[in-house]
Structure 1
Amino acid sequence: MIGSQRRRATGPILLGLALLLFALLAGCEREPESYRLEGPIFGTGFHVTFYGDYDDDQLSEIEGSVKAALDRVDRLMSTYKTDSELSRFNRAPVGEPFQLSPQTAEVIREAIRVGDMSAGAFDVTVGAAVNLWGFGPDKHPDRVPDDDAIAKALKEVDYQALKLDGNTLTKTKPVYVDLSGIAKGYGVDAVARALDDLGVQRYLVEVGGEIRTRGSKPGDEPWRIAVEKPVSNERSVQRIIELDDSAVATSGDYRNYFESDGKRYSHTIDPRTGRPIKHHLVSVTVITSDCMTADALATAIDVMGPDAGYAMAERENLAVYLVVKTPDGFETRASTAFQRYLKDSD
């Protein structure tokens, strides 16, 4: 079940994890009311802020639509629910065609596309390797697996074993699909579509740090999003960006890791090696038109590293902002397509 709270928002909103939202409420003039919905979902939380003039019946309809959209994604794509569509596919025999809902098929299709674009850096079948290192649902005490265990896990990692024909998905060998690197973003998009259908024209939707915005705040003020500084012992701002009708996702390894014999192991597992990433890219922010794609691309570039990730961003005309750790602190790199989001945002 998805719990939620509905209230009129009367102050700035701060969104944690990878992104912080600074909502500055303007002026003394009569402005549209500000409303806020929030609650748990996908093992994290969701927040929706929207502006307008709505009566109680309209607010109840908006709240119900938001909850229904998130609950639908959870029922379809959760790996924690044994009766979800995705869990049933994971139990299906190799070679047996499985009919998916249009929603799950859309997410799988995009996952395969980003997998191809990133030469396998994004792989929704990486779960076996993630679990081996203790970062999945089958957590165990922090330890470094041996080479044989990693090689065994890698035999179950291959997104190209997924064959999608329309809405029918077939696996050509035993693989386990986990959509956690893309489904949160899709959930944000699902809520955005629900709000659009109800005529809500000014909103911000956030699920677990992934964000999508529509319109502007009162006074034609843009939504101002702060990229968090990638340090594990404090919450501070690296850069502020301004959004209108956009989606943004961030990926980083600066909070989720373990240490063994003085060595730090990231929770981000490279599906091509079965091992944690070793490069110095610590945070990736991606802006696209939809959050599903931003979510997947942020994970892919996080795996690829600063040089290969930046090269892909330029090649594919992606709006990407990288924070790289150096001996002297942090270095930032913004792709050409990202430059417009940095104007007047300091």
Structure 2
Amino acid sequence: MRSVVKTWLAFGLAFFLAGCGQENVKTHPETQITGSTMGTYYSIKVADDAISDKTKFQADIDQLLELVNDQMSTYRPESELSRFNQARTSTPVVVSRDTARVVTESLHLGRETRGALDVTVGPLVNLWGFGPDAKPTKVPSDELISQTRQKTGLGNLHVITSADADTLQKDIPDLYVDLSSIAKGFGVDKVAEYLEAKGSRNYLVEIGGELRINGVNGKGHPWRVAIEKPTANVGSVQEVIQVGDNGVATSGDYRNYYEMDGQRFSHTIDPATGKPIHHRLVSVTVVHPSCMTADGLATALTVMGPEKGMAYATEKGLAIFMVTKTDEGFDERYSPAFKPFLTRDAK
């Protein structure tokens, strides 16, 4: 591999962009832009003639992603989502069609995964120090966790759509919605939709490790990406995949965690317990036509853990790749639907 892959560029939680693995002359120049959004970076490559003005392209993408932040960021007090979270009544709050779309998909995935994905766990995320609030100085008590759980629940959140307006409604005043498990994937999809509206059919869009891929790269070969090995050595590759025209998302807790009182706390909260997950699944990668859906599913499967998560994915025909920590190192498993995306001979 090292003789044919020209460069590995470190990008975010789970992925690297890779060369196609063949020494062919470029068939089309690639337009690439990079920038910052959602507390991370973005990188976009376009390998056709859809983009004629790179400066305008960058400005359009920045504006598009800034709008997503203004809609769904919990770190911006004036965002649509923050205004809804700050409301203390059951009066519907008008939101954009995009915000309604993301919350609707969140509720759908929450039902499909039997509550493993729950975007109302925001109060618990904040309680454990992984939201806008500061990290706690001591481990929250069971009583405090129980009290906080009373402020959550997908059944307390509703999306109401009509020809005139889209609104969100809550049944309890303290309900707090956190879309961080799905909004980044939505942002990727929005950029892909923009590119396709421009006529592009060959592109790779990434925001902080979540991707949408379509067509071929500048050499005329399918895009390849690499799943990062979950170790401290940034740049170590677990697996190279070729996913065709799909979205890809990874969830993992090997970087976003803290330790306190001799315990390790993951940023992923189990809605069933109100506590950070505690199992040996360190990362799960999902391939799906929608990056938004892949993003939400990756979180849900992480909550489920290795056995329940793999059983669920196999039952539903989902393409997933799991890395689990063992006493000897790391073990990888994948669902039957994921096998076609591997670039090596599957064992």
User: Normalised by the size of structure 1, how large is the TM-score?
Assistant: 0.91
Deviation sequence 1:38-62 (CA, Å, 0-9, x none): 111111111111123477x533343
Q: How far apart, in 2, do the equivalents of 1:288 and 1:14 lie?
A: 22
Q: How many residues align?
A: 336
The CA RMSD over aligned residues, in Å, is 2.0
Partner deviation per Cα, 1:309-344 (whole Å, 9 max, x = no partner): 111111211111111112222221111111111154
Displacement of 1:12 in angstroms is: 5.9
Q: Which residue number corresponds to residue 148 of structure 1?
A: 143
Which residue in 1 is equivalent to 2:171?
172
Task: Write the distance in 2 (CA, Å) between the matches of 1:232 and 1:158.
Answer: 35
Shift in Å, 1:113: 0.7
Deviation at 1:172, TM superposition (A): 0.6
- 1:118 pairs with one of 93, 99, 113: 113
Q: What SS is found at the alignment partner of 1:254?
A: coil
2:12 aligned partner: 16
Q: Is 1:139 aligned to residue 139 of structure 2?
A: no
Q: 1 CA distance for matches of 2:241 and 2:26?
A: 27
Taking only the aligned residue pairs, the percentage that are identical comes to 45
Select between 11-20 and 102-111 the one with higher mean Cα deviation. Answer: 11-20
Match of 1:89 among 73, 78, 84: 84
Q: How far apart are the structure 1 equivalents of 2:267 and 2:74? A: 18
Question: Paired residue for 2:284?
Answer: 284
For the structure 1 residues 54 and 122, does the alpha-carbon distance in structure 2 shift closer, same or farther, using more than 3 Å as the test?
closer
CA contact (8 A) 1:161 1:171 kept: yes
The answer to whether the aligner puts 1:47 opposite 2:46 as a matched pair is no
Deviates more, 1:264-273 or 1:177-186: 264-273
What is the rounded CA distance, in whole Å, between the counterparts of 1:291 and 1:142 in structure 2? 36
Any idea what the Cα deviations from partners look like across 1:256-275, whole Å, max 9, x if unmatched?
22223332221211122111
Equivalent position amino acid for 2:176 in 1? Y
- Could you tell me whether the CA contact under 8 Å between 1:142 and 1:258 is conserved in 2? no
Residue 335 of structure 1 is matched in structure 2 by: 335
Q: Distance in 2 between matches of 1:121 and 1:186?
A: 19
Structure 2 residue aligned with 1:77? 72
2:299 is aligned to 299
Cα separation, partners in 2 of 1:345 and 1:136, compared to 1, 3 Å: farther
The 10-residue stretch of structure 1 (162-171 or 200-209) with the greater mean CA deviation from structure 2: 162-171
Q: For residues 328 and 261 of structure 1, what CA distance do their matches in structure 2 show?
A: 26
Match of 1:246 in 2: 246
Q: Aligned in 2, Cα 1:130/1:202: closer, same or farther, shift over 3 Å?
A: same
Q: Deviations over 1:119-177 (max 9, x none)?
A: 11111111111111111111235531111111111111212210122222210112101
How far residue 112 of structure 1 moved from its aligned partner, in angstroms, is: 0.3
Contact (CA 8 Å) 1:241, 1:345: kept in 2 or not?
no
**C-alpha distance in structure 2 between counterparts of 1:233 and 1:12, whole Å:** 13
The answer for the alignment partner of 2:95 in structure 1 is 100
- Which deviates more, 75-84 or 246-255? 75-84
Partner of 1:37: 33
Match of 1:192 in 2: 192
SS state of the match for residue 243, structure 1?
Answer: coil
Q: Distance in 2 between matches of 1:114 and 1:143?
A: 33
TM-aligned CA distance change 1:48 to 1:30, over 3 Å? closer
Structure 1: 4+ residue segments shifted above 6 A = none
Q: Which moved more, 1:253-262 or 1:148-157?
A: 253-262
1:60-83 superposed Cα distances (whole Å, 9 cap, x missing partner): 343233222212211111112221
On the 8 A contact 1:240/1:345 being kept in 2, the answer is no
Find the counterpart in structure 1 of residue 3 from structure 2: none
CA deviation profile, 1:186-239 (whole Å, cap 9, x unmatched): 000000011111112211111111011111113431211111111235431111
CA distance in 1, matches of 2:336, 2:105: 24
Q: Could you tell me which runs of 5 or more consecutive residues in structure 2 were left unpaired when the two chains were aligned.
A: 1-5
Amino acid at match of 1:60: T
Distance in 1, matches of 2:31 and 2:190, equals 19
